[in-house]
Amino acid sequence: MTKQNPTSVIIFGASGDLAQRKLAPSLFNLFRKRKTPKQLNIIGFGNTPFTDETFRQRVREGMDQFANFKFTDEEWGIFSKNLYYHQGRYTDLADFKKLGERLSEIEGGPANRLFYMAIPPTIFPNIIDLLGLTGQLLEDGGWRRVIVEKPFGTDLASAQALNQQAHKVLQENQIYRIDHYLGKETVQNILFTRFANTIFEPIWNRNYIDHVQITVAEKVGVEHRAGYYDSVGVLRDMFQNHLLQLLTLVAMEPPSSFNATALRNEKVKLLSAIQPMTPAQVAENTVRAQYAGYRNEPEVKPESSTPTYAALRFFINNWRWQGVPFYLRSGKNMAEKQTQIIIRFKEPPLAMFPMPPEKKMAPNMLVLYIQPDEGVHLRFEAKAPDTVSETRSVDMEFHYAEAFGPTVIPESYERLLLDAIQGDASLFTRADEVETAWGLMDPILQTWETLQTPPVVVYAPNSWGPAEADALLTRDGRFWLNE
């Protein structure tokens, strides 16, 4: 058997929240499940003065607090032996040289390296420059990959600039841009629902589908991230990435195979079939809102017009979807945490069963529950017992917890880290995909921010958003469904 290269995961921003809450527990769990390469080193890099030992303690504390799995001290002992910390500045060439030396010392020969950018996006270009300058991105005997956290840019121009900068020292296939929604089992299951079954795809088009609703509602407000959030708002924070990813998976054409290139080609094709909006279309098809009390949150500017909620109506200009509206909404401080996709089918062509005039037959509906209660429901009409012709809506239900057991859904970072280690970029966003998505957001942001159109409206905390968002649908003769 040939000896495998060791693999090093280098985390920039190792003392931060993401590393402690998500990355370290995910790597540990992968290790426990024996999914990681045999020799895995994890090296934290950051400004904070930790030693290897105090870093291990910090990671352990995070594990006790955030890991959603049980582990033994023995497992921890084996895993933590390969945890290291290297103190350094993100702008210092000498510190990056020292990092390179430290890595070679730990690895003791050719090795694979995965650099994880768990740092604010403004620092990312600096880091890859310094990694490039110190020769650490050269694939001499092992692969080199970089995971980049969102947000990838704040508009099209900045995303393009980031891509250009990254492409100076990296090939596109070495760059793994994270959208943690793609790591969610239920998000991946959208593709399986569509393409591992024969019953849905024939009706998955404008002939049978009336419209699609995508809701990503959060119960929490901006919490401790207001400083960051107030400069971005909901469109940059949630739509450019997560909601558009959900949209592409629901609406894209079947890829020719389940690999990164085929999959991502179809996603880009789908996004390209959406026409960027003119200012008049932005006024007509978008709603932006802020929850009452947002301006009093610590670190939020008192006159802030940053939206914490948005609702958009999109049309996809292709044969499959012509004329079918896609309504997307997301907000903070809403009535409940609920991420779901509703496929609302058309009404039967003929009302054959006599009904009282005040009753209408409900159209069929497929609900993909992304979180928190992961599953799928198919709603259809059944004859109500003891009536001649009345119907009731009933659900055929699938729930992950019931079908597969309560603790089977892993943390999305587990899957994403493993895929990056294994070189599978299917669940990461490609440069052209990120840019095409920004190309759809830019005109909306510009109209909102420069023309102040439509105005920011206020919605009540713990509600389903402003009346204007309801009007977006009612004028089409439709309404939001909270299933």
Which residues are the active-site residues?
A: 242
- Longest CA–CA separation in the chain, Å: 83
CA–CA distances in Å: residue 403 to residues 84, 195, 379, 412: 40, 20, 19, 19
Beta bridge partners of 334: 463
Tell me how far apart the alpha carbons of residues 272 and 436 are, in angstroms, rounded to a whole number: 7
Nearer Cβ to ligand BG6 (210/218): 218
Smaller CB separation from ligand BG6, 29 or 330: 330
Residue 32 to residues 38, 73, 319, Cα–Cα distance (Å): 11, 12, 47
- Measure the CA–CA gap between 483 and 481, rounded to whole angstroms: 6
Residue keyed to tokens 């939206």: 307
Cβ at position 242, least distance to ligand BG6 in Å: 6
Give the residue closest to ligand BG6 by C-beta.
237
Closest distance to ligand BG6 from the beta carbon of 367 (Å): 17
Q: Which residues contact 233 (CB under 8 A, 6 or more apart)?
A: 306, 307, 308
Nearest-angstrom CA–CA distance, 380 and 13? 50
Q: Residue ranges of the alpha helices (H) in 67-92?
A: 73-80
User: Do the beta carbons of residue 50 and residue 13 sit within 8 Å?
Assistant: no
Half-sphere exposure of 184 (CA within 13 A, CB side): 21
Buried b (16+ CB within 10 A) or exposed e, 294-307: bbebeebeeebebb
Q: What's the min distance (Å) between Cβ of 219 and ligand BG6?
A: 10
Task: Write out the residues near ligand BG6 by the rule CB under 6 A.
Answer: 218, 237
Number of H helices, E strands in the chain: 17, 15
Q: Burial of 130 by CB count in 10 Å (0-12 exposed, 13-18 middle, 19+ buried)?
A: buried
- Closest separation in Å from C-beta 154 to ligand BG6: 13
- Give whichever of 21 and 478 is closer to ligand BG6, judged by the CB atom: 21
Nearer to ligand BG6, 139 or 336 (CB): 336
Least separation, in Å, of the C-beta of 172 and ligand BG6? 23
- Residue whose CB is less far from ligand BG6, 236 or 379: 236
Six-digit token string for 111? 């090795």
Instruction: List, as one string, the DSSP characters of 381-423.
Output: EEEPTTSSS-EEEEEEEEEHHHHH-TT----HHHHHHHHHHHT
Amino acid at 446: Q
Q: Output 224 or 360, the one with its CB closest to ligand BG6.
A: 224
CB of 342 or CB of 370, closer to ligand BG6: 370
Q: For residues 130 and 151, give the distance between their C-alpha atoms in angstroms, rounded to a whole number.
A: 21
Cis peptide leading into residue 454 (ω within 30°) = yes
Q: How far is the CB of 429 from ligand BG6 (least distance, A)?
A: 13
Comparing CB distances to ligand BG6, the nearer of 237 and 297 is 237
Least Å distance, CB 31 to ligand BG6, is 23
CA angle (98 as vertex; 38, 138 as ends), nearest 5: 60
Give the shortest CB-145-to-ligand BG6 separation in angstroms: 21
- In 3-state terms, what secondary structure has residue 335? coil
